[in-house]
Structure 1
Amino acid sequence: MTYLGEGWDSTAVLVDERWVERRPRRPEVGPQLERESVVMPWLAPLLPLPVPVPVVVSRDPVVVRHELVPGEELTASTAVQGRQLGEFLLALHAAPVAEAVRRGVGPRPLPVERFRAEVRVPGGEEFLAELDGLPADTLVHGDLGPEHVLGRDGVLTGVIDFGDLHVGDAAIDLAWALHDTPPEFAEAFADTYGVDRELRRRALIWHRLGPWHEVLYGNDIGDQEVAEVGLAGVLDRLGTGVSPI
């Protein structure tokens, strides 16, 4: 086995240089991994890029395996890759929501009250008010960023980590692509996906919200450094440039 790394929810190792084995880092993540094993066999054929299709190999403890998706996380993004990601998300967001729900996918409520209590920053209340009324009618990846979009030789080779798959706002999947990538990638992505002003507005809300989750995660695991990095990100993305309350 070769250790691949760990995210907020699970650890991963490579078995026989072909299979990725994932285990939950917390008990509540186990059902999430099992749900992926139900949803992804249905979803994968609908998508234009390779994605993990996990199989449960143990339920106590929960362990899943899937074939290795080739490529490395993006460190440089091109217009070609932007177009590929736009095509990928068009396909994902067109997937039938009712079928996903039948396989156990549902909405993901935001922890707004925890945000309010644990992330006290100037302008925070005004920003949280922008979360009211966001749509929740599309099957979304929910955690799309350079660590989950893989590429090699200038093209995309796959998308991984569907643990946060849920029924939500399509704009959550546009946040990184529009607001944290090189202009050539972002422009090609926007043209391919058909981003309008309203989608761009909501994508910016989701982009600004990202570090708020990092603060809560740092608090949950008792890591003050993680929480402080998240708080710095909150202030940076809100554009306040001042210390927290």
Structure 2
Amino acid sequence: MSLRPPRAILFDLDGTLADTAPDLAAAVNLMRSARGLAPTPYEQLRPVASAGARGLIGAAFGIGPDHPEFNVMRTEFLDNYAAAIAIHTRLFDGIREMLQGLDQAGLQWGIVTNKAARFTDALVPLIGLAGAGCVISGDTTPHAKPHPQPLLEAASRIGLPSEACWYVGDDLRDIQAGRAAGMPTIGAGWGYCGNVEPASWEADALAGHPLQLLELLRAG
């Protein structure tokens, strides 16, 4: 479909800009190793990487936030992750070139993630994303996605109305947050997507590869 041209594009981080799943999976499998358990297959962990501790602990141990041990295990997981945050994490193929294309087109870009600032601030410069016009973490505002406040804060920081921005993400909550903030939304089909067909999110557009965003810009 045709989208109104943006003045900035905002991105989710995990599963959209960066392939963080290998280091997240390693953090939860270190917990299993400490308990004398075999590692959970990576293929089971990768699709839930965008869900953070909740998704990974759930996949590796079969428990949720209502379990009495969850909070202690969450702290252990996060400490493991903080200690090895960028061992195998890389930008997805095409991301660097896509961001260069945005810069050449004079468009601002930024990051809006549910990852806590403790991790975002450490990771972003290590993987080549220091050029972001803004970085909004999960604890930057009182609410995390799918609430629109993080996206509205990002637009405010780069000095644009929300409707002048596109939001790109690989999870339903990204699309919900963008829609609630009044932003056109793009489903990142190259990301984790939680074993869900991105078309079901009803985003304004879908992209199967980062460079397709540049095609959407030209089409708009």
Output the TM-score relative to the length of structure 2.
0.28
The structure richer in strand per residue is 1
Question: Whose radius of gyration is greater, 1 or 2?
Answer: 1
Task: Specify which structure has the bigger relative contact order, considering alpha-carbon pairs within 8 angstroms and separated by 6 or more residues.
Answer: 2
